[in-house]
Structure 1
Amino acid sequence: MAAGITTSALGPPDYKKALEQFDAYVEALGKCGLSVIVLDPLEGHPDAHFVEDAAVVTPEIAIITNPGAASRKGEVTSIAAALKPFRKCVWIQTPGTIDGGDVLTIGRHVFIGLSDRTNADGARQLGDALAGFGYTWTPVPVAAGLHFKSSVNAVGRDTLLITQPFAAHPALAGFDRIVVSPQEEYAGNTLLVNGHLIMPADFPDTRQKLQALETPIIELDTSEFRKMDGGLTCLSLRF
């Protein structure tokens, strides 16, 4: 795990503590009404536990990504095998690159972040594949943060939790926006699951803002995944 890609200066993750945090995450998903499939470790791919980056799944199709980091490209085959019993799979082709962490689907519209990991060709391929099922899509440049969902996440039907750099972004103008304080930017990666919000622990200002939604909140310690630039959405594919 510690051999994965990170820009963090928080030090190496504690593997035992990471396993405990992961088990708590799986338990929380179960409490939200989901059945969880836990994949086997993927030797030689220390970032593979961030499964969200390897695919984008809708009710109609699974799109297997072409990750933007060269060291992660080998992760997609195992994800495709896991998804094949549930969805038809199509693949993003080179030169397109895309990470699932850059893709936010709200209803029938998809926001695709253009980041260091997701390029314009990958976004176009994804958008074209989903357009065949009636989806529309908007590309959004990501100037700060690893992925689009590092900074923008849905916390309600028409409500986004966003970091300050996206607070006035014109692509998000049609939504109610809860803005995370600069001191709590990591809490912007909060996960909405079946009418529950799973958020990282120890971000009291963000929790207070989210309580106004009157949605049940589950706080989880994700300190070890944060050290590897990961968050709550990264650790699962929900469908």
Structure 2
Amino acid sequence: MGNMTAGTALVRPPGPRLAEAIVTHAERRPIDAALAVRQHGAYVSALRAAGWRIRALPAGDPYPDAVFVEDALVVVGDLAVITRSAAASRRGEAALAERAAADLGLPTDRIKPPGTLDGGDVLQVGDTVYVGRSARTNEEGICQFARFLGGRRMVTVDVSGCLHLKSAMTALPDGTLIGMPDLLDTSALPGLQVAPDPAGAHVVVLGPQHVLLSSSAPRTADRLTADGLRVTVVDITEFEALDGCVTCLSVLLR
């Protein structure tokens, strides 16, 4: 059943070159392209079942990483910020993101050189925006991004040992942060619930009491269910093998 707060979910199906996507922290293994397509379909179905309107963008050929649509575009209020990845092979995705924003009727601005910023390093929680300083997002990119926040408070968090801030930390529907403290500078945070599984650090809020989790986080799913949340679980092993997680595969516009 849907809920009143759901909006539009931007997704991009995996392209034919998915297996060539960048792997930084996982151990590279062969990718089952047909399974990845099925898993992506099930992920999209879970969003739709929760009441989200699906906006499927064209596949991002020739960019293998374009399925991780969250990284190329950050929507702040009604502004789409086109990011600039530190990974040069992903820079071409900016044009795809710009097209998607135009399609949605959103005004755009962009991160300019020498700034770099990936959407996976941006976690918006109420009036606070956490931004990860990572291998993909630099100080200059963070300073540029701060100008787009319209008075919301920005907290910079140092990230190490994983790709993005949201590889290490996300937020539950009530704003509680959940993640893996050993991958973050927790001194900048108001508190962090420790995820029982590494993949439990990645939560997509589908509704006021409803979250999406990877099937790789069964203990986290059990705990959140015991805490009274509705938990939907999806299998995304082929994307996890490429350093991906449930947050990377969509941009949710409320």
Q: Which of 10, 29, 52 matches 1:34?
A: 52
Specify whether residues 49 and 147 from structure 1 end up closer, same or farther in structure 2 by C-alpha distance, changes over 3 A only: same
* Structure 1 alignment gaps of length 5 or more: none
Q: Which of 20, 27, 30 matches 1:9?
A: 27
Distance 2:58 2:148 in 1: 29
Stretches (4+) displaced over 4 A: none
The reply on whether 1:154 has 2:171 as its aligned counterpart is yes
Distance 2:184 2:60 in 1: 38
Q: Which of 235, 238, 242 matches 1:228?
A: 242
1:122-201 → structure 2 map (5 Å cutoff): 122-130=141-149, 133-165=150-182, 169-173=186-190, 175=191, 177-181=192-196, 184-195=197-208, 196-201=210-215
Q: Residue 123 of structure 2 aligns with which residue? A: 104
Distance 1:11 1:166 in 2: 24
CA RMSD of aligned residues (A): 1.5
Distance 1:168 1:114 in 2: 10
The reply on whether 1:119 has 2:138 as its aligned counterpart is yes
CA offsets, 1:40-99, max 9 Å, x none? 112220000000000110222111101110000000111111112331100100000000
Distance 1:143 1:190 in 2: 19
Larger deviation, residues 53-62 vs 227-236: 53-62
Aligned-pair distance for 1:25?
0.7
CA offsets, 1:111-136, max 9 Å, x none? 10000000000011111121xx2212
Aligned-pair distance for 1:217?
0.5
Aligned-pair distance for 1:10?
5.2
SS at match of 1:232: coil
SS at match of 1:25: helix
Larger deviation, residues 58-67 vs 91-100: 58-67
The reply on whether 1:47 has 2:60 as its aligned counterpart is no
Q: Residue 5 of structure 2 aligns with which residue? A: none
Distance 1:119 1:190 in 2: 24
Specify whether residues 73 and 211 from structure 1 end up closer, same or farther in structure 2 by C-alpha distance, changes over 3 A only: same
SS at match of 2:41: helix
Distance 1:200 1:215 in 2: 15
TM-score, length basis structure 1: 0.93
SS at match of 1:36: strand
Larger deviation, residues 188-197 vs 91-100: 188-197
Distance 2:249 2:223 in 1: 24
The reply on whether 1:65 has 2:79 as its aligned counterpart is no
- Name the aligned partner's letter for residue 226 of structure 2: A
Distance 1:236 1:157 in 2: 21
Distance 2:151 2:227 in 1: 30
Distance 1:226 1:107 in 2: 28
Distance 2:156 2:30 in 1: 34
SS at match of 1:2: helix
Determine if contact 1:150/1:188 at 8 Å carries over to the other structure.
Answer: yes
- Name the aligned partner's letter for residue 77 of structure 1: A
Distance 1:167 1:101 in 2: 14
Aligned-pair distance for 1:168?
7.6
In the alignment of these two chains, the number of paired residues is 233
